[in-house]
Amino acid sequence: MKKILITGVSGLLGSNLAYCWRKRYDIFGIYNQHPWIFDGIRTKQADLADPQAVKALLKDFKPDVIIHAAASVDVDRCEEDPQWAWRGNVMMTKCLVDAVDSQTKFVYISTDLVYDGQRGGYVETDPVNLINVYATTKFAGEQAVVPLPNALIVRTNIFGWNVQDKTCFAERVIKEAKTKTINGFTDSFFSSLYTFDLAELLSAALEKDLKGIYHFASSTAVSRYDFADSLAQKLGYASGLIHASSMNGFPFKARRSPNLSLNIDKLQQALGSKIVTIENSIDHYVADYKNGVVLKLKGEVV
């Protein structure tokens, strides 16, 4: 079994990856403020901005792979508190980079927000244009990882299951759209991917030993309105509960990119297989919801 260290294991992506991989790999998860306990997954508290603590962790576990999913991901809070953003997205990354050896695979989870979203259809070689603090710090994290000889940088947009007491956009639709109208932007586009689908792609990428920058996204893009409407329909909710609205005038604290659709040809060619559409990902998400996956994950929160 490969030994995989997952940072941010109590976050949305970290916990979802650990759950998907718990019988496939030897998982060791690191959390900071929010403990998470799940049968078959070892977890430990650590401050990843502490160089000595990071060195001790890697010396103790000796991972084959590090999945660096820990991050400061609240885009508006990053804008209000750049120091918090820098600590979570750059300092922690640099501490891991400084401690890791050249043989360890280092997977850095980045974001589609490194692009300004003025046209969409981005390929990995397109120039970045950093329009907010979150994007700036995540790209700085990328730059810290680039010198590693065995690094994979994952630019992505995801939806999945929070084990903490917060929700992503898809979870909001599940919780709220059955009883009240929620807003869906018709002028905001993305190629979001269900975390469990991302887990399969990442596993295949590890087997292929991919290096460099890749887009890990669905093969199609939709507006946030169409995403929410499709999800609500698949859940059997009444029609008309998703309200078509615009990003223009919405009181965001940080600027947002309107069209973050990603081209995934590079990843598809490297893996030699087709990548799911966003409709496929929504189908998988709904099926897992109906099978109680979210209850299994959230029932183990301390």
Asked whether 59 and 46 are in contact (CB, 8 A), the reply is no
For residue 123, give Cα distances in angstroms to 48, 107, 115, 128, 261: 31, 19, 10, 10, 10
Q: Provide the whole-model pTM.
A: 0.96
Helix, strand, coil % in the chain, rounded to nearest 5 = 40, 20, 40
Asked whether 174 and 282 are in contact (CB, 8 A), the reply is no
Q: Which residues contact 65 (CB under 8 A, 6 or more apart)?
A: 2, 3, 4, 5, 25, 104, 105, 106, 107, 206
Confidence category of residue 300, pLDDT binned at 50, 70, 90? very low
pLDDT at 299: 65
Asked whether 135 and 183 are in contact (CB, 8 A), the reply is no
**Residue ranges of the alpha helices (H) in 116-189?**
133-145, 169-176
Average pLDDT, the chain: 95
The tens digit of pLDDT for each residue in 97-131 reads: 999 999 999 999 999 999 999 999 999 999 999 99
Confidence category of residue 301, pLDDT binned at 50, 70, 90? very low
Q: Which CATH superfamily is domain 3-166+190-222+256-281+294-298 in?
A: NAD(P)-binding Rossmann-like Domain (3.40.50.720)
Asked whether 130 and 119 are in contact (CB, 8 A), the reply is no
The tens digit of pLDDT for each residue in 239-294 reads: 888 999 999 989 999 999 999 999 999 999 999 999 999 999 999 999 999 999 98
Q: Using CA atoms, how far apart are residues 120 and 133, in angstroms rounded to an integer?
A: 20
